[in-house]
Amino acid sequence: MLKLEHIYWNTPDGTPILKDVDLAIGDGGLTAITGPNGGGKTTLAKIIAGIEHPMKGRIVFEGEDITDMDVTERAKRGISYAFQTPVRFKGLTVTDLLEMAAGRRLDEAARCELLSKVGLCAEDYEGREVNASLSGGEIKRVEIATILARKSRLMVFDEPEAGIDLWSFAGLIDAFEQMKAEGVGTQVIISHQERILQVADRIVVIEDGLVKEDGARDAILPHLLESSRCPRCPMPDPEVRARHAAKEARR
């Protein structure tokens, strides 16, 4: 479905972030991209969506070279992207965003289904403006609901767990699993969260701008968790694990 061939990307000051990333993502299923902060995961997600463009390399989506295509063209071809920090809009309502994402009018039942998947009650939220009155967690859930509304062939979620409470997070995991079970598109999720890694079919570890590990979940996850475990912390959080893993790898 998607091929990233020899992708390079530098920051405007010339710092290399992605250094020859080669990655192929097949049709269907859930691929989790993980790794330490600053390793290039979000940049890679933005490059897939067309928000950033590689300095070098080629991107092929369903047999078509999309390297030079912009965000709009890629969206029309079936790539959607959930921002890590969702955007706020004065005047646009939750329903407006869901309908723009879906590309059609949504009836009450459809809005309710989408919002309930991310732990929001349609009655309370569909008329709300997507502005500063929504908390960080609420707007994050709306962001993810817009991606669910698009039903794209390739859905890229950038740290969907950030800013979401545990109850909603459980609902979100269910939504990812349900989409996977129903064969609704291909999911690529950037995440540090062990629970997301546990529902992935495949795990890709990006570190220092390179694909460090890539394989089936059962092959990668135990090793990843073990290598990231700090002996002094019985239950370190995922970011601590990721930092620890990076330190171990450097050794």
Partner 1 sequence: MKAATEELLKLVSDWKGSFCGAYNIREDGKSVGRLSTEHIKVEPKQDGTGLDIIVAPGTKGEQVAIPACVTVGDFNDLVYNDFYIGEGADVTIVAGCGLHNDTGEAARHNGIHRFFLKKGSHAKYIEKHVGVGKGTGRRSIDPVTEVFLDEDAMLEMDTSQLSGIDTTRRVTKGTCGKGAKLVIHEHLLTEKDQRATTEFEVSLDGEGSSVDLVSRSVAKDDSVQSYRSKIVGNARCTGHSECDAIITGHGKVSASPQLDANNEDAALIHEAAIGKIAGEQILKLRTFGLTEEEAEEKIIQGFLR
The binding site for partner 1 (CB under 8 A) comprises 49, 51, 70-72, 75-76, 80-81, 83, 86-87, 89-93, 96, 100-101, 103, 146, 150
Shortest CB 247 distance to partner 1, Å: 34
Shortest CB 89 distance to partner 1, Å: 6
Is the backbone of residue 50 left (phi > 0), alpha (psi -120 to 50) or beta?
left
Looking at the Cβ atoms of 26 and 127, the one nearer to partner 1 is: 127
Q: How far apart are CA 154 and CA 79, in angstroms?
A: 5
For 86, the 3-state DSSP assignment is coil
Looking at the Cβ atoms of 24 and 87, the one nearer to partner 1 is: 87
Burial 70-96 (b: 16+ CB within 10 A, else e): eeeebbebbbbbbbbebeeeeeebbbe
Shortest CB 94 distance to partner 1, Å: 12
Dihedral, 34, 39, 40, 42 alpha carbons, nearest 10: 50
Shortest CB 24 distance to partner 1, Å: 23
Looking at the Cβ atoms of 34 and 80, the one nearer to partner 1 is: 80
| Residue 30 structure tokens | 């859930």
Looking at the Cβ atoms of 4 and 147, the one nearer to partner 1 is: 147
